[in-house]
Structures are given as C-alpha cells and as structure tokens.
Structure 1
Amino acid sequence: MATPVVTKTAWKLQEIVAHASNVSSLVLGKASGRLLATGGDDCRVNLWSINKPNCIMSLTGHTSPVESVRLNTPEELIVAGSQSGSIRVWDLEAAKILRTLMGHKANICSLDFHPYGEFVASGSQDTNIKLWDIRRKGCVFRYRGHSQAVRCLRFSPDGKWLASAADDHTVKLWDLTAGKMMSEFPGHTGPVNVVEFHPNEYLLASGSSDRTIRFWDLEKFQVVSCIEGEPGPVRSVLFNPDGCCLYSGCQDSLRVYGWEPERCFDVVLVNWGKVADLAICNDQLIGVAFSQSNVSSYVVDLTRVTRTGTVTQDPVQASQPQTQQTPNPGVSLRRIYERPSTTCSKPQRVKHNSESERRSPSSEDDKDERESRAEIQNAEDYNEIFQPKNSISRTPPRRSEPFPAPPEDDIATAKEASKPSPAMDVQLPVPSQEVPARPSVMTSTPAPKGEPVIIPATRNEPIGLKASDFLPAVKVPQQAELVDEDAMSQIRKGHDTMCVVLTSRHKNLDTVRAVWTTGDIKTSVDSAVAINDLSVVVDLLNIVNQKACLSSSLWKLDLCTTVLPQIEKLLQSKYESYVQTGCTSLKLILQRFLPLITDILAAPPSVGVDISREERLHKCRLCFKQLKSISGLVKSRSGLSGRHGSAFRELHLLMASLD
C-alpha cells in the first residue's frame, strides 16, 4: 500500500534582497495576490512577481525614502508617497510616470486608490487627509480631524466613504460626497494601524497597537464586538472574499476570527515574524514580511484552515449523521453595498485649452516627472504580466495556478504538525452549538530542501556604516533560520574588534578635546587632521558646523585651508554620515567665503607692501584651488538620486561662480 503524501498548511515561499538599503514599505496586489511592490530607503519603488527571483521594474524619481505604496485594483497603476511628502503615480503598463502630487508637509503614511473613480487618498504625518484627482494633478478636498499621523486609509467597496485610522487612537469615517466626517469610532487605547471594510456588508474592522481588533456597524455607528488578547500589535487584517471571516496576521501566526459573536475559528503557526500585508488568491493566503533589505513571502493553504463555524468534513466523517446545524455564514445581517455598474479606466492626460489651466514645462512638478523613470529590469516577466494578450482583456498566468505545497519531510512530522500547540491556545471561547474545529495549527519544521535561497537584487551598494562591517564573514545555513543564540554568537565574534575601534577613537578624541579646551579651534582641527582618522574629523566638524550656525564668526580663511582637503575625502566616503557632514561643511564655507574669495582674486593688485593683504590673497588662492578640485566631484555626483543627490545639486549651484 502506497504511503499517502501529506502536505503542509503553511510554508515559506521565497526570500529576496529587495533593495540596496532598508525596505520601508510594501504592498501586495489584492486582485492577483502575485504582484508585490516594495519601497525602500534608496528612494526606489521595485516591482516583483511572487516566487520569481528578479525585479520586474524599478521606479525612480523620489528624492527621499519611500514610506507608503499602493496598487490599484486592476494592478495597472501604482502610487508611492515619500518621507518628504511628495506623491508619484506610475502607469505600469506604459512603464512611465503619470502624475506628481505635491502638498503634504511631512511623511506620507498611507495611500489608497478609489475603487471606481480616478482618485487617490493620502494620509500624512502632518495629520491631514487629501483626496487627489490624478487626471488633473489637483487636490480635490482636504479632510481635517485627526490630531496625529494618519496610518491607514481605505475606500468603501461602493466608493462613497473613506475610513481613516490614526495614532490618536481613533477611527473616522468620511463622506466623500458631502466632504465631511460622518462618524468617529473611539474605543482603542493605542494607535490604530489598520482598517478594512467588509467586502459586502456595512461593517468595518480596525486593528490597533493595543492588541485588539474591533468591528464597527456602519448603519448604527457602534461597536459590534471586540477581539482581545492578540499576541502583539495588529498591523494587517483581511476579510475573506466572501466575508465569512477575518484573517489577522499576528506575530508568527495567522488567526481566523468571527465577530457575531466574537470567536476564533483557527490558529495557524507561520514563521513570518511581523507580517506586513496579506492577499488571497486560489484559496491561498499570501503573506509578506520585511526585515532590513530582505522581503519574505509565505503561503497558507486556506482549504486546510477552518473559516466558519462549520467544518469541511473528511469522507469518513461525512458518512456519520449530523445532529446540529450552524447558520449559513453567507447570510448578511446588514445592508449590502451598492456598487456602480461600470468602472473607470486608468486616467489619461488631460489637454487644457484655457491659458490659465495650461502648465508650463518648466514648473516644479513637471520637472519631477521628467526626472522620474520606470526602468524595466526583466523584460520577459514584464511582458508576461503587464502586456495584454489580446485587445479585450489581460490574462497573465500569474492569476491561474496556486503555489504548490512542498511535501512534509516524513509522515511522523506531518502528524506532529497536526497537533495543536499548547502555547497557542485560542483565548476566545467557541460556542458549544458549533461543531468542534479540526486542529490545523502548525509547528515549526525545517525548511524544505527546495526552498529558494536569498537572491540579491541588482542595485548599487548603499552608503552607510553597518554592523556587518565589523563582523567576520559567516556562512548562514540555508536549511533553517538563525535562532537568537546563533545571532548573538556571531555578534560576540566581532565584539573585540569593535572594542579596539571604539577605544582608539575615544583616545584620539580625548587628544583633540585637550586642545579644544584652550579655545584655539584652528589648532584643534590641525590635531584632528594629524591623527589621520576621518571619524575624528567628522566628530569635530559636526561640532564646528553646529556652532557656526549660531555664530558666523567661527569660520576663518585659515580654517578653510585646513578643512577643505578633508571635506573632499568625506564627499568620497562610502559612509552616509561622512558625506552628510562634508556637504554641510562645504555649504557653510561657500555661503560665507566664496563671494569674498572671488572678490579678492578679481581685485587689481595693490600699490606698495601690505603683508596682511598678501597673506589673505595667498589663503584665497589656496582655497580657490581646493574648491576647484572639489567642484568636479560635486558636479559628477549632482545627478544622484536621493537626499544626497539634492545636496550635491545645491552645492553645484553655489559653486557656479567658480567657472
């Protein structure tokens, strides 16, 4: 008799290096569950196909870290908000920038596309919510009411309402037609991280850092139920497509909840850490999580998860008579959303006839659009996903087949995995009239041999000092993730090296500090330069820069002649803090001394002997020569993206008079 093949309920699908620096945001396409967008501190937005190793497309144009990303329902448009408050919309099928939206004064924390109209909602750390018409680049309305950062925005399925969640512990519901708040839902005792509309009924779910999930009736505007005892802050929730249950992505587990009454149907262990987003396709739930520059994807087989009060029976159980029946979970207790019969296509550029509406090509946002790019990294995957197969509809294969489940290592492991874990006991009672749910809690098992390894994306190396710079190279085993003890062991190996580095630096700083106390700044800088340690120079320049902002008399020409060669070294450093300090120091020197240097060099020669003037002229010539040397470096780096690129561009403009 053949041994049956037992498959897993949940498994890790893939891990990739998504950006050259830390990942700051990500989102899954909800229609397919196969398209992933990631935003990073490298100011890029990257597109990925789940379970494929290569980046499909890389979107550039932002000059500060990308804080929020969102795909529209057909997965044809993507919007990304940055730390500086700017918003950009790209057309993925045309592979080009579509809109640049400016107006927020702080980080963009949340975004959402209107399900039918050509609008985008944005929530910011400046506490404002804005509704944008992406056809005309304009802000339609601004909603005020929150007192802290707006963390999540969701349009209702019929497109008439907008729900917002914020750090001020409240959830608010806004009427888009009336342009005002309909209701406020208090009750959470911590920041509210996520809100989600029921796909059919007038019901809203909200998850908070207070470890609770609350359900709100949108007809009576009151709480329906509250689920408490989540293992950590609630960051991602998702209703099942038929609305029978709510999935909560908890720390290393997936929980399945009902709300009338509040109860937990199932708990599945998934070693995904802090899951950031969820999507459902082909009876599979896809979860994605990120840590530093890595993004991991996981799959939960929903056919093996209990989602209602009734249980999918095995053939043997089906033959036994049932004495109790549970209500049909699909029966609605509330009003149903009335969706429009037609949908709007993606926005097209509007041609303005009036002179007042016509935008100049030199305007700031049009300049941003010219600098934004959509670079196709993998033409084969791009054509497969974004190019239509025919003129009627787009049917990419990513929507057709579910992800195959890897087999268990052996039958004994599979049986052990089917036993409920005592550490994950469900805290909510299951009503006695319901049929007991079969166990589907998974225990942690070694990763299968076929699990993909970490695949580095093709990106430039980031600027910045990392802890790994001080650690010896360690081969990470592919078969299992590192546990805390292993990680601590690796850190201890580099401890001695780090102690030597810090002790030497402390000694050098003491030497410079002894000179600094005499009040002679020039001698202090000379001693720091003589030590030949850029880290000491950086520490000292940071103090000088800070004091120079308070007192303009601190910088002298003779100090510039010593500092400028060090600035040139800092601007070429691989460490982000060094580059930033170099840019700040150079900017202060240019603003204070460049006009003086050019005026003295352009002045006619004096009659007679003036020793002080000759010394000043000599210092000006030396500074001019050093600045000319630095100007070539600044010019070559003014085309970089990110905040350093904008800093170099500003320096390049300040140094224009050198030519």
Structure 2
Amino acid sequence: MATPVVTKTAWKLQEIVAHASNVSSLVLGKASGRLLATGGDDCRVNLWSINKPNCIMSLTGHTSPVESVRLNTPEELIVAGSQSGSIRVWDLEAAKILRTLMGHKANICSLDFHPYGEFVASGSQDTNIKLWDIRRKGCVFRYRGHTQAVRCLRFSPDGKWLASAADDHTVKLWDLTAGKMMSEFPGHTGPVNVVEFHPNEYLLASGSSDRTIRFWDLEKFQVVSCIEGEPGPVRSVLFNPDGCCLYSGCQDSLRVYGWEPERCFDVVLVSWGKVADLAVCNDQLIGVAFSQSNVSSYVVDLTRVTRTGTVAQDPVQDSRPLAQQPAHPSAPLRRIYERPGTACSKPQRVKQNSESERRSPSSEDDRDERESRAEIQNAEEYNEIFQPKNSISRTPPRRSEPFPAPPEDDMVSAKEVAKPSPTMDSQFPVPNLEVPPRPPAVTPTPAPKAEPAIIPATRNEPIGLKASDFLPAVKIPQQAELVDEDAMSQIRKGHDTMCVVLTSRHKNLDTVRAVWTTGDIKTSVDSAVAINDLSVVVDLLNIVNQKASLWKLDLCTTVLPQIEKLLQSKYESYVQTGCTSLKLILQRFLPLITDILAAPPSVGVDISREERLHKCRLCYKQLKSISGLVKSKSGLSGRHGSAFRELHLLMASLD
C-alpha cells in the first residue's frame, strides 16, 4: 500500500521575467488570487495568469514608469498611475483603453477601485487624494490633509469611506458623501505603508515602517491594539476572508495575528524576501515579490497554518481570565458593514457621439487614448480568462482548484517551518501544534519533472545584494573573512566616486563624534561647520532636533547661517532638516529675542546681559536675512510649501 506524500506548508511557485526593465509595481487580483498585474520602468502594464509562463496582455500608453497598479473586484478593469501623475483605466474584457485621467502634479503612489460605484481613488506624492468618476473622466473631489506622499488607499467594504496612509506617519478616514475627513489616527512613528479594512466589522489595520501594525476601532475612532516587534517595515497585510485573523507579509516569513488581545497565532517561513502583495483563494495564500525585472510567486497552504486561538488548544488549559480570551469569530464586537443589495460590476459604456461626451478630435485626452493600446499576447489564455464560453457570468477556470504542492523531499519539516523566532515567541505565545510523524523509510515516487516555465528557480532567496549572490558558498570558517573582502570588492566595482564620497563623510563624522563625546554641543557644531560639508551638518542637526533641551542661544548663532544654506539646497532631505531646525529655533527663542531687544537699556555694567544682548542682535539679523527666503518659498506647492508657509507665519513678529 502506497504511503501518501506529505507536502510543504509553503513553497515557491515560479519566477518570471515580467518586463524588459525593472519592475516598479505589482498587484494580485483579490477575487481569484490567480491574476497578476505588473508595472515597469518600460512604461508598460503586463497581465499574467499565476503559474503560467507567458504574458496574457500588455497595456501601453504611459510615457513614464508605472508607479502603481490596481485591479477592480470583478477583475474586469485595471487602473495604472505613472511617475508623471497621469492615470489610465483599461477594460480587460474589451481589450481597450477606457479612460485617461490627468490632474496630479507628481508620482501616483496609490490607487483603489470603489467596490460598487464607478469611481477610482488616487493618492500622489503631491500629497493630494483625488476621487475620479470613470464615466465622465472627471475629478469628483480632492481631499487635502496629508503633508507627505500618500502611500496606500482603501475603500471600506460598504463603499462609504476611504482610508489613506501616508509618509507623514498618519492614517486618515474620509467620508465620501460629505467630502471631508472623519478622523485622523496618529500613533505611528514612521511612514505608514498600508491600510486594510476588516471584511465585516468596523475595524481598520495599518502597517508602518516603524515595524508595528495598529488596529483601529471605526466606531470609537481609537486604537484597539498594537502589534510590535515586526522583523522589518510592514508593507503588506491582508485579513482572512472570514475576518478571523490578519496576515502580515514580513521579510522571509508570513505571520498570523489576532488583535483582541494582540498575539501571534503562527509564523511560517517563506523565502519571498520583501513580499509586495497578498491574496487568499481556495485555502491558499498567494504572495508575490519583485526584484529588478523578475517577479516571483509563492504559496502558503492555510490548512496547515493556525489562524485562531481556539484551534488545537484545550479550553481547560487556557488559564487567562474570560475578559482576555478571544471572542469567537462569529460573534463580532463591532458593527457590521451594510453592503448595498445591487452593485455595478463595471462602468456603463458611454457612446462617443453623445452630446455630453462630444469633444474635439484633437483634444489631449483623445490623443492619449488613441496612443494607449491593449495588446493581447496570448489569445488562448486571454479567451479562457476574459471570454469564457457557455457561461452567463465570468467564472474563469483559474479559480477552480488550488495549486498543488511539491513533494516534501528536500525541505525542513512542517513543524520547523511553523516555528516562530525566539523574540516573537516571547511576545506572542504561539499554539504548539503537533505535526504527525513522517512515514519511516518510504521513498515517495518523484513526480515527473516539468520543463521550467521561464526561469528555473535556482535559489530560494530573492535577488539582492548579499555576499552569497556574488560568490559561491564557502563552508570553511577560516575563509569567511576572505569571502567578505572579495564580495565587497565586487560591490565597489563601478562605484569608485561614491566610495570616495562616503569614506570622506565617514572620516568627517568621526571627527565630529570625537568632540561630541566631550559633551560640548556648541564645539561639536562648530567643528561640523568648519569641515564645510553640509551633509555632516545635516546629520548632526537631525540628532540635535530630536532633543530640544540641547538648543542654546549661542548654538543658534552658529546654526542659522547653515540653515540658510540648507533651505536653498536642491536636496529635499536638506530642506526638510533646515525647516525643522528653523521651526524649533523660532518657537523656542524668537519670543526671548524680541523681548530682550525691546527692553530698555540697563543701568551700570552687566557683562552677561551684554553678551546675551549681542547674541540676540546677531540672531535677529540672521533671521531677518532668512525671512526673505522663507517668504519667497511660501508659495510652493506640496509638503515643503506648507512648511515654508508655517515658518512665514512664525516669523511675522520680526516685522
């Protein structure tokens, strides 16, 4: 009697070359988990069927790299935003461009389709969020409030709200009907990369570069819990379709979390590197990652993953108080979304000769749409997916069955795969699931090896700048140092100028650090200024800005001339540091400076007062010099414009 083959919990599905140049964005179809869209620096959007080697369709028309892509729920429409700020919508079933939307002034960082209406939301590096009506090609509303790039947008399941996450460390919730912000959720200490609504309850999850995931109650508008200790920045999260848990795509692992109370149910090791998007279908989680021009897909068998606190756990042994025990998934603690009874699956086709849509043939929009095409690369797969025969509604065959797992003959056991790291185990207790023992001394019949789809997966780790990627693995410990030296020499090739710059900067920082250890902040800043390297001044100010108590009046006299240089720099980080330092000086010292200068002269000799008066006069003169520069830049748009406008208001008392 043949013994059944034990399969993997997680495995790599395939690796493909998705574009002629670097891949810049990708997204999975959430309904099927089988449709993949990629955007590249070659200005194209390519469509793929997961686990198939060939491109189904290539969408052209953008003239700058594609920064963001998104599929609608029925997977009939796709929207793509470019580096130049333009947005294009394609109809996949009709294989043609549907709309061109223009209006943003910078990169499109995030997109989302409304779940029922015919609308698209877009977030940009220009800090604006726009809601577009696909039928009329117009911007319905512009939402202002973020001060940095908007990285993620999500409509609520009932289509009434829009959540946004941005580099300004905030999450905002917008009321689409009222056209205004409902609530702001502060708390993250780094850029917020992703937000996701719970599929049923009034609950929102947000993931940040500060390595935390926060859960927000959308009735009370307050934090429910916070998951800390993620191994890296949080870039992709996804609720299970029934809402029982949250998946987090971490560096080389999948983590499964609960939020009341916050805890980790399971950790599965997956060698996907930085996973870019997740989808769930047929009790499998699909993850996709990209590196350079390659895209890799991975599968996790969710039937072998712990997703709730009640699985494989004896309730008698649960010694926690009843108030801390998890609620049953079928008994939600919050309101449930009320979805409309009917939904528009796709925009209505507007006749080009109608009065409302009649425009000049030479208009810019018409030209853009004429130049945008949907080129079918593989007609057989395209017809199978988008034009199924003998079916009233589109139910593509790709949804029919899960991906088969390869035999477990060259991997660690499932128990090892699910084993969390010691640091996570101490923070979140993981249920100890016993894995059935492997059959003894029975060699499974190997499955016939299929030809590689497009790129043989020769290694489990994604492409990256690691020593092992440049040189063969060396097992002899004595040679490890030699390997690192050889690897570094390989990395340095072609970057001699940058290496010289970084070496010089490191030497200058060492000089400043030697003075800093004496505790004399003023002398440290003087030494940084004397080196005549603005990058060192920026590094030092970024540290001093974090602790206001370090600032003294004599420090301002040294820093203010450097701030004037930073505000005129072509580098955004220099300008930002200069604005932060100037704002701190104005808030802390400007009232003191104006009061001392306005005070009547003293009688007699007071050396300390004379020194303070001299410093105030010098600071006042320097601030007057900077005020003209601030005033001239206060008319700029974007985050720097708002920062300069705030500084201009703070400096009003100088006049």
Per the TM superposition, whether the score is higher than 0.5 is yes
Contact 1:305–1:440 (CA<8 Å) still a contact in 2?
no
Would the alpha carbon gap of residues 228 and 621 (structure 1) be closer, same or farther in structure 2, given more than 3 Å must change?
Answer: closer
Aligned mates of 2:65, 2:309 — CA distance in 1: 45
Instruction: Identify if the C-alpha distance between structure 1 residues 152 and 357 changes in structure 2 by more than 3 Å, giving closer, same or farther.
Output: same
User: Which is further off, 437-446 or 230-239?
Assistant: 437-446
CA distance 1:362–1:480, shift in 2 (3 Å): farther
**Among residues 622, 634, 637, which one is paired with 2:633 in the alignment?**
637
Q: Alpha-carbon deviations, 1:54-108, whole Å to 9, x = none? A: 0000000000000000000000000000000000000000100000000000000
Contact 2:415 2:435 in 1 (8 A): no
Q: Which moved more, 1:523-532 or 1:391-400?
A: 523-532
**Offset at 1:395?**
1.8
User: Aligned partners of 2:624 and 2:95: how far apart in 1?
Assistant: 40
Q: Quote the RMSD (CA, aligned, Å).
A: 15.0
Cα shift at 1:394: 1.2
C-alpha contact (below 8 Å) 2:388/2:395 kept by paired residues = yes
2:319 alignment partner in structure 1: 319
Moved more, 419-428 or 300-309: 419-428
| Conserved? CA contact 2:14–2:457, under 8 Å | no
| Range 4-13 or range 159-168, more displaced | 4-13
CA deviation string 1:240-293 (max 9, x = no partner): 000000000000000000001101100000000000000000000000000000
Q: Distance in 2 between matches of 1:459 and 1:573?
A: 44
Structure 2 Cα separation of the partners of residues 214 and 311 of structure 1: 24
Summarize the alignment of residues 41-190 of structure 1 with structure 2, pairs less than 5 Å apart. Answer: 41-190=41-190
TM-score using structure 2 length: 0.67
Report the alpha carbon displacement of residue 348 of structure 1 after superposing the two structures with TM.
Answer: 2.8
- Contact map agreement 1:266 1:440 (CA 8 A) in 2: no
Partner in structure 1 of residue 414 of structure 2:
414
Structure 2 segments unaligned to the other structure (5+ residues): none
Give the CA deviation at 1:331: 1.1
Whether the aligned pair in 2 keeps the contact of 1:63 and 1:641 (CA below 8 Å) is no
For residue 277 of structure 1, give the secondary structure of its aligned residue in structure 2.
strand
Following superposition, the deviation at residue 299 of structure 1 comes to 0.3
Q: After alignment, is 523-532 or 494-503 more displaced?
A: 523-532
Q: Is the 8 A contact 1:127 1:149 kept in 2?
A: yes
Q: How far apart are 1:389 and its partner, in Å?
A: 2.3
Q: What residue is the counterpart of 1:249 in the other structure?
A: 249
CA–CA separation in structure 2 for the residues paired with 1:263 and 1:148: 31
String of CA shifts for 1:2-35, please: whole Å, max 9, x gaps: 5442111000000001000000000000000000
**CA shift for structure 1 position 402:** 0.1
Query: 1:360 deviation in Å?
Result: 1.2
C-alpha distance in 2 between matches for 1:73 and 1:389: 21
* Cα 1:579–1:301 shift into 2, 3 Å: same
The structure 2 residue matched to 1:575, chosen from 561, 571, 577, is 571
Deviation of 1:310 (Å): 1.5
Query: CA 1:577/1:387 → structure 2, altered by over 3 Å: closer, same or farther?
Result: farther
Flag the 1:492–1:383 CA change in 2: closer, same or farther, 3 A: same
How far apart in 2 are the matches of 1:247 and 1:429? 16
TM-score by length of 1: 0.67
Q: SS where residue 141 of structure 1 aligns?
A: strand
2: CA distance, partners of 1:383 / 1:599:
78
**More displaced stretch, 616-625 vs 491-500:** 616-625
Give the equivalent residue in structure 2 for 1:447: 447
Change in CA separation of 1:646 and 1:480 when aligned onto 2, cut-off 3 Å: farther
Between 350-359 and 15-24, the greater mean CA deviation after superposition: 350-359
CA contact (8 A) 2:253 2:271 kept: yes
Q: Would the alpha carbon gap of residues 364 and 493 (structure 1) be closer, same or farther in structure 2, given more than 3 Å must change? A: closer
The whole-number CA distance in structure 1 between the counterparts of 2:405 and 2:28 is 20
Change (3 A) 1:277 1:543: closer
Structure 1 residues 592 and 238 mapped into 2: Cα distance closer, same or farther (>3 Å)? closer
Name the SS of the counterpart of 1:483 in structure 2: helix
- Partners of 2:326 and 2:607 lie apart in 1 by 101
1:211-610 aligned at under 5 Å gives the runs: 211-311=211-311, 327-351=327-351, 358-390=358-390, 392-409=392-409, 413=413, 417=417, 422=422, 425=425, 427-429=427-429, 452=452, 454-455=454-455
Q: In structure 1, what is the Cα distance between the partners aligned to 2:609 and 2:188?
A: 71
* Cα displacement (A) at 1:427: 2.6
Indicate if the aligned counterparts of 1:43 and 1:642 stay in contact, CA closer than 8 A: no
Instruction: Provide the C-alpha distance between the structure 1 equivalents of 2:412 and 2:463, rounded to a whole number of angstroms.
Output: 49
Change (3 A) 1:113 1:311: same
| % identity of equivalent residues | 94
* CA deviation vs aligned residue, 1:375-394 (integer Å, no higher than 9, x gap): 00011110110103235111
Superposed CA deviations along residues 480-527 of structure 1, whole A, max 9, x for unmatched, are 999999976976899999999999999999999999999999999999
Q: Quick one: structure 1 residues 496 and 70, their matched pair in 2 at CA, closer, same or farther if it must change by over 3 Å?
A: closer
How far 1:455 sits from its partner (Å)? 3.6
Q: After superposition, what is the alpha-carbon deviation per residue over 1:276-326, rounded to whole angstroms, capped at 9, x for unaligned? A: 000000000000000000000000000000000112589999999999997
Aligned equivalent of 2:644, options 629, 638, 648:
648
> Deviation at 1:328?
1.9
Greater CA drift, 481-490 or 637-646: 637-646
Give SS of 1:627's match. Answer: helix
CA distance 1:380–1:644, change in 2 (3 Å): farther
Q: Distance in 2 between matches of 1:198 and 1:650?
A: 37
After superposition, give the CA deviation of every residue in 1:194-224 in whole Å (9 maximum; x if it has no partner).
0000000000000000000000000000000
Worse-superposed segment, 56-65 or 504-513: 504-513
Whole-angstrom CA distance in 2 between matches of 1:579 and 1:573: 6
Partners of 2:129 and 2:451 lie apart in 1 by 42
Equivalent position SS for 2:550:
coil
> Which stretch of the first structure deviates more once superposed, 32-41 or 404-413?
404-413
Corresponding residue SS for 1:481: helix
The count of residues paired between Structure 1 and Structure 2 equals 655
**In the aligned structure 2, how far is the partner of 1:348 from the partner of 1:430?**
49
Range that drifts further, 238-247 or 484-493: 484-493
Q: Say if 2:9 and 2:417, in contact at 8 Å, map to a contact too.
A: no
